[in-house]
Structure 1
Amino acid sequence: MRKRTARIVLATFTAGLAAAACLTAVGPANAREGTTNARDGHTCSPSVSIDGFSDALDGTTFQGAYVGNLSALAVDRDGSLAGLSDESFLFDLDARTLGPESVLRLADESGAEIDSEGLVIDRDGTRLITSEVDPSIRRYSADGRILDRLPVPDALRVAPAGRAQHNGTFEGLTMFPGGHTLLASMEYALSGDSPDINRFQTWRRHKGHFVLGAQYAYRTDAGLGVPEVQATPDGRLLVLERGFTAGVGNTVRLYLADPRRATDTSGVEDLTGQDGGVRLIKKTLLADIVNCPSLGATAEQPQPNPLLDNIEGMAITGYSKGRLKVLLVSDDNQRPTQTTRFYQLRVRI
């Protein structure tokens, strides 16, 4: 376990979506030196402000499991928070303090670890979890039993079985309002597609199972991938784009994207970006996180803003009148040069 002084700069971590209609705010989470009042409005852009950050879990363990490598977040039905490690651990976290309350080890059908990246908690309490190795999406019971495995288009499988690149498949996972449509985002483009066009695959709920649905095309900024997506209450998407340059640091941008008028690309073999009949998902920049105030954060490696790290997970924890509370988390890759850091944002959509 790496030892590092826990640093917390935050005002609120929400208890979750309250009837999907109003914000449920809770008090300070063990606030310490450098505490910042959320009402000060730390502006990242006209649409986004940051309430604070927390390094409280950085370098910690719980019941023998390393509390890091966090790749996804989700709000459970009781308002608690789930954090998914890409090392096959699923943590239940207190939404207020972020403290781990339980941990579940995940495995595939043979009992082997999975490269767990995306997480959705379904309305019946089952956990939908992606692995980017195959890629795959499995349904787990709350106690970790595999209940089902969703179909995956052949083209989205890792080469040579398909056209996806290793370590570049299902990173993001989200459920649209109503619980009828699931969406997974590919982190990077398929071979044959333009390198800046990623495929987003959907599944429809049908007679208790998920069947393949429409597929959409999303254009990333040059050199960036998509580590996470989250459906907004109005049926759009929050999309994280992320990249890393050695000696410079991370780039992390938050976009609002609208797939509702995009073309179904499941029958389009190569997406070149010059396809006149293909309407891409429309996106609008909400914020480049480099422009957020640093709030006294420190970085263990060069960063254009010391607040930045390898941000990979995202959950919408509250909504009211076009305003979202959004929680982000960074994946430290269990490296001393990176940090497990939570970020609390307020986002106007």
Structure 2
Amino acid sequence: MLNRLLGTASLALLLSTSAHALDIGSRFETACPLSDCDAPISLSFLGEVTIPTGEIIDGVEFGGISGLDFDLPSRRFIAISDDRSEKAPARFYDLDIQVDGKGLHAVKVIRTTTLLDTNGEPFAAKTVDPEAIRFSQDGILWTSEGDAKAGISPFLRITGDDGRFVREFVLPNGFAPTPDKSSGIRNNNAFESLTVMSGGDILVGLEAALYQDGPAATLTTGSLARLIRFDATTGLAKAQYVYPVSPIPQAPVEADGWNDNGMPEFLALDDHRLLTLERGFAQNIGNTIRVFMTDLEGATDVSKIDSLTSTKERVVPARKAQILDLGAIGLKPDNVEAMTFAKGQDGTDVLILASDNNFNDEQTTQFIAFEVLKRPK
């Protein structure tokens, strides 16, 4: 029942730097993000590794990587697949990411673990949509985005190393989907982001606004995505904030082509600062991947505000400042949705991003690494 078989194949090799215009060692610094010179960010590019779509691990196609995390004491990397138990039961992977101060060298899949529902069984097809994963002192945290069209609510749960259910956090009012779309999550825009703050609280973020809070992002307007701050012990929400998702950065080539922008991941820097990842897409153009520093200090707690569009109260969103645009620095990013800090084999501080290939033959699972030269701690 618990799928913990060992993967045997080395899945990826470092791409030649000629594949993009960015050289190993290229540096990028934001000295005073949000005009705060005590919180500089400085990164140095370490390289890129890709895993082609179609690789088979433990008898199942590898892909859909939507969350990534690293545990320092065990030096363990885990990644979650957003397969909705369709290709195989919902699962997460243990990875061996070989990175040091000289570069990102290879990625191997070590083990596959099946996530189990509250009944101790694997999730049935289309009953779950795994999106984010983090280590915590109580076990492995992970989110499901739910399925608004099917009336399935999102959730945040803790699982053991063996994939077994431990407990679930309490979903605040207003997040459950509704048939008439009067309130609740938008489909595919729910619990995408997850991080553990330095003080121990757990933060979960939506990719776009709840229906009662306004529209999803467009080419001319952004979207007000709620962030929920949970108490790790009680499992209850203690605050909610507003994150201002940016407008869609590029229009599609065709007037009726698909485009969007959302926030699929964030990563705690301390107890109030985050790195937030925004992922835009325009059909026949590609992905726009940007990283922001975001500060929750001074942001309004909106947990008692039912609707951001109808409230008369003053609402202050989280502040943010762009620190990196992957395309602008010379990379060709795929559908990046995952992000973690880690330590290289030589002790180098690193930031690693990973993409969701959507199990699409025209995409790859992409890992991008930077050495972290400076960051708030």
What's the TM-score bracket when you normalise by the shorter of the two chains?
A: 0.7 to 0.9
Q: Give the whole-Å Cα distance in 2 for the aligned partners of 1:313 and 1:273.
A: 33
Alignment map for 1:116-131 (pairs within 5 Å) = 116-124=130-138, 126-131=139-144
Counterpart position of 2:244: 219
Counterpart position of 2:370: 345
Q: Does 1:142 align with 2:161?
A: yes
Report if aligned partners of 1:314, 1:327 keep a CA contact under 8 Å in 2.
yes
Counting aligned pairs with the same residue, the percent is 29
Comparing 102-111 and 61-70, the one that deviates more: 102-111
Alignment map for 1:192-341 (pairs within 5 Å) = 192-195=212-215, 196-206=223-233, 209-223=234-248, 224-233=261-270, 235-272=272-309, 277-294=314-331, 307-318=332-343, 325-341=350-366
Q: Secondary structure at the match of 2:231?
A: strand
Shift of 1:156: 1.4
Alignment map for 1:178-197 (pairs within 5 Å) = 178=199, 180-195=200-215, 196-197=223-224
Shift of 1:117: 0.4
Shift of 1:33: 8.1
> Structure 1 341/275 Cα, relative in aligned 2: closer, same or farther at 3 Å?
farther
> Structure 1 226/273 Cα, relative in aligned 2: closer, same or farther at 3 Å?
farther
Q: Give the whole-Å Cα distance in 1 for the aligned partners of 2:306 and 2:19.
A: 52
Residue ranges of structure 1 left out of the alignment (5+ in a row) = 10-31, 295-306
Report if aligned partners of 1:194, 1:273 keep a CA contact under 8 Å in 2.
no
> Structure 1 41/332 Cα, relative in aligned 2: closer, same or farther at 3 Å?
same
After superposition, give the CA deviation of every residue in 1:306-343 in whole Å (9 maximum; x if it has no partner): x2110001111149xxx962100000010011110100
Q: Does 1:165 align with 2:186?
A: yes
Q: Secondary structure at the match of 1:192?
A: helix
Shift of 1:44: 5.6
Report if aligned partners of 2:48, 2:366 keep a CA contact under 8 Å in 1.
yes
Q: Give the whole-Å Cα distance in 2 for the aligned partners of 1:71 and 1:218.
A: 20
Shift of 1:34: 5.9
Report if aligned partners of 1:117, 1:132 keep a CA contact under 8 Å in 2.
yes
Q: Give the whole-Å Cα distance in 2 for the aligned partners of 1:90 and 1:73.
A: 10
Q: Give the whole-Å Cα distance in 2 for the aligned partners of 1:81 and 1:51.
A: 18
> Structure 1 166/50 Cα, relative in aligned 2: closer, same or farther at 3 Å?
same
Shift of 1:137: 1.0
Give 1:83's match in structure 2, choosing from 71, 76, 79. 79
Q: Secondary structure at the match of 1:290?
A: coil
Shift of 1:106: 1.3
Counterpart position of 2:101: none
Counterpart position of 1:69: 64
> Structure 1 39/251 Cα, relative in aligned 2: closer, same or farther at 3 Å?
closer
CA RMSD of aligned residues (A): 2.7
Report if aligned partners of 1:44, 1:291 keep a CA contact under 8 Å in 2.
no
Give 1:152's match in structure 2, choosing from 161, 168, 171. 171
> Structure 1 74/40 Cα, relative in aligned 2: closer, same or farther at 3 Å?
closer
Report if aligned partners of 2:53, 2:360 keep a CA contact under 8 Å in 1.
no
Q: Does 1:50 align with 2:48?
A: no
Report if aligned partners of 1:128, 1:139 keep a CA contact under 8 Å in 2.
yes
* Aligned residue type for 1:191: Y
Q: Secondary structure at the match of 2:212?
A: coil
Counterpart position of 1:21: none
Q: Give the whole-Å Cα distance in 1 for the aligned partners of 2:310 and 2:264.
A: 21
Residue ranges of structure 2 left out of the alignment (5+ in a row) = 1-10, 31-41, 84-89, 99-105, 147-152, 216-222, 249-260
After superposition, give the CA deviation of every residue in 1:267-286 in whole Å (9 maximum; x if it has no partner): 11222499662211010111
TM-score (norm 1): 0.79
Shift of 1:40: 4.6
Q: Does 1:41 align with 2:20?
A: no
Report if aligned partners of 1:174, 1:229 keep a CA contact under 8 Å in 2.
yes
Q: Give the whole-Å Cα distance in 2 for the aligned partners of 1:66 and 1:232.
A: 34
Give 1:100's match in structure 2, choosing from 109, 112, 119. 109
Report if aligned partners of 1:43, 1:292 keep a CA contact under 8 Å in 2.
no
Q: Secondary structure at the match of 1:99?
A: strand
* Aligned residue type for 1:128: L
Shift of 1:61: 1.9
> Structure 1 56/186 Cα, relative in aligned 2: closer, same or farther at 3 Å?
same
